[in-house]
Amino acid sequence: METVKRLRVGFGRDMNLLTSSMFTRRIVMGFLQVVRAIYFALLGFSPVEIGLLLSIATFLSALHHITFGYLCDRYGRKPFLILGTLFAAARTALFAVSTDFWMLALAQSLGAMGEGVGAGQPVVSGYITDKVEAQDRPNIYSTMAITNSLASTIGLSFGGLPILLENRFAYDVVSAHQLLWWACTAVTLISLVFLFPLKEGRRVMRSDGKQGKGPGIKNWGVITKFSLTRSTSGLGWGMIDSLMTLYFFQRFMVGTDILGPIYAFARFLSIFTYLVTPRVVERYGAIPTIVATRMISAGVTVLFALSSWYPMAVLFMVVNRIIVLFTMPIRQTFASGMVSPEETATAIGISNSARMGVRTLAPTLAGYMFESISMTLPFFTGAILMAVNGGLFWTFFRPRAPKNPPNP
C-alpha cells in the first residue's frame, strides 16, 4: 500500500486526464503491435516490403519527435497532443479502406506523426515537466508506465479477434481486419475527450525573463551524448522487435490468436516491476540499473535466437520484454532531469529523433537478413547493439566521485 500511495504523488486533474487519454490510445497501440506485421504478411507482402512499411513510420517518427518537441516548447503542449491523436486515427482509418502498398505507406506515415503521445515522448514529457515537480516525476512516470501496460495488455489480448471473426462470422482476412481498424479509429478519437479539458502547465521562462517563446539550447554536450546512446538502443531494439511476430509466425507457425495473449501476459507482468522501480533507483541509481538491464537483455536475446523449442523461445521473449519495459520509466525520469525545464521537450525530441532515425534502418535491415541470410541474424545483431548501449550509458553518464573529496 505504501508503494501505491507513493506512486500517486503529484497527480491532479490534468495528469489524470492525460493518463486517461494515453490509456485509451495505448489499447490501440497494443493491438497494432501484435497484429500489424502479420496482417501485412497475410496481404502478401515479403519480409523486405514489411520492413520498408515499418521503416517509413520510424523515419517520419524521428522527424516528428524533434519538430513537435521544439514547437511545443514554443507554443504549448496541448495543441500537439490533439494533433498527434488525429494523425494516429488517420492511420487506422486508411488501413480500413485500402490494402495498396503505397496507401499503407501513407497510413504508416500519418501514424508515425501520432505515435509520440507516450510518457517518454517530447510533448508528454514536456507537459509532465511543466506540471510536476522534479522529485515527484519518478513516481509519475512509474504510474503512467503501469497504466500504459494495463492498456497495452488489453490491446494485445485482442490480437486474436481477426481470427475469431474469420472462424465464427465467416469474414475473409481483409474484411475482418478492416472492421477492427475502424474500431481502432473510433477508440483513438474517443481519447480526445480527455485532451480537450487539459490546461497548459506553467509558462516556461527564458533566461532573459520572457515567457514561452522557446529555449536556446545550452546543454548540447549532454544532449549529444544522450542522443548517441539512444541511437544504439533504437537500432538494437528495432532489430530485435520489429519482425518478432513475423518470426514466430513463420518459424513456429503461430498466429495472432496465440501471440496476442502471450504479448499481453508479458506486458501485464511488467506492471509489477514498475511498482518497485522508484525503490530500485533510490538504492542502486538510475544509470547502474539501466546498464545492468541492457546487458541482461543482450544475453537473453542471444538465448532466444538459439532456441529451437517454441516454449523456450516464448519464455525468453517474455523475459526480455519485461526487462526492457522495466527501464522505461527510469530512462524517462533521467531524460526529463538532464537539462533545464525550458529545454526538456526539445532535448527529448532531439534524442528521440536520433533514436528513431537510426531505428528507421532496423526493419529494412532485419527484413533483408530475415529473408536472405538467416531468420535469427537480426536478433544476434540486436543483442550486440543493446550491449553497446549499456556500455555507452556507463561511459557517458555513470555516477562519478568528486575529484577532490573533502577530508573527513
Q: How far apart are CA 285 and CA 276, in angstroms?
A: 13
Residue 373 DSSP one-character state: I
What is the extent of the structural domain holding 150?
8-198+218-397
323 pLDDT above the threshold of 70? yes
Nearest to 294 by CA among 364, 375, 398: 398
In 78-224, DSSP assigns E strands to: none
Domain assignment present for 318: yes
Give, rounded to a whole angstrom, the gap between the first and last alpha carbons of the chain: 40
What tens digit of pLDDT does each residue of 124-134 get?
777 777 777 76
Please give the tally of structural domains in the chain.
1
Domain assignment present for 349: yes
Q: What is the CATH number of the domain that holds 375?
A: 1.20.1250.20
The distance from CA 179 to its chain's CA centroid, rounded to whole angstroms, is 25
- The residue with cell 515479403 is 46
DSSP-derived secondary structure for 42-77: HTT--HHHHHHHHHHHHHHHHHHHHHHHHHHHHH-S
Domain assignment present for 402: no
Overall pTM surpassing 0.95 (yes/no): no
Domain assignment present for 19: yes
Contact (CB, 8 A) for 101 and 374: no
At 403, give phi and psi (nearest 5°): -65, -40
Classify 338 as helix, strand or coil. coil
Domain assignment present for 207: no
Classify 98 as helix, strand or coil. coil
pLDDT of amino acid 351: 75
What tens digit of pLDDT does each residue of 2-45 get?
444 444 445 678 888 888 898 999 899 889 988 988 899 889 99
56 pLDDT above the threshold of 70? yes
Residue 88 DSSP one-character state: H
Burial degree of 86 (CB within 10 A; 0-12, 13-18, 19+): middle
Domain assignment present for 225: yes
- The residue with cell 511498482 is 275
Contact (CB, 8 A) for 255 and 162: no
pLDDT of amino acid 333: 72
What tens digit of pLDDT does each residue of 226-279 get?
888 888 888 899 899 888 888 998 899 888 888 888 888 888 888 887 777 778
The three state secondary structure string of 253-285 is: CCCHHHHHHHHHHHHHHHHHHHHHHHHHHHHHC
What tens digit of pLDDT does each residue of 153-200 get?
899 889 889 988 988 888 898 899 999 999 999 999 999 999 998 887
Domain assignment present for 210: no
Domain assignment present for 407: no
